[in-house]
Amino acid sequence: MKVEEVVRCLLTDKFGVDASDIESHVPLRRLRMDSLALEELRLLVEERLDVDLDAVELTSRDTVGHLLGAVQSAARNGGTA
């Protein structure tokens, strides 16, 4: 499964985000992702994709595209961001 597919699935299945709202330019706060939800999402992504996102700091002001870029970067760098 690709990074984008995993993130989309997690956002819709675990956090109840409408799939049509998930676009790269959309801030995570618009998807109702607060700091606790972002931490949970980070942990789930790490588990599903076997990547380490400890160095990635996400805020609700970041966009879906920023999140995807950070995860893709970690995946390319052998699992670490």
pLDDT of amino acid 36: 96
Q: Which residue range(s) make up the domain with 12?
A: 3-76
Q: Answer whether residue 37 is part of any domain.
A: yes
Q: Answer whether residue 81 is part of any domain.
A: no
Question: What CATH number is associated with residue 69?
Answer: 1.10.1200.10
Distance, CA of 43 to CA of 59 (rounded, Å): 15
pLDDT tens for 67-81 read 999 999 988 887 665
Number of structural domains in the chain: 1
Q: Alpha helix locations (H) across the chain? A: 3-13, 35-49, 64-76
Inter-residue contact 42 to 20 (CB < 8 Å) = no
pLDDT tens for 4-60 read 999 999 999 999 999 999 999 999 999 999 999 999 999 999 999 999 998 888 899
pLDDT of amino acid 79: 61
Non-local (6+) Cβ contacts of 12 within 8 A are 18, 19, 22
pLDDT of amino acid 76: 86
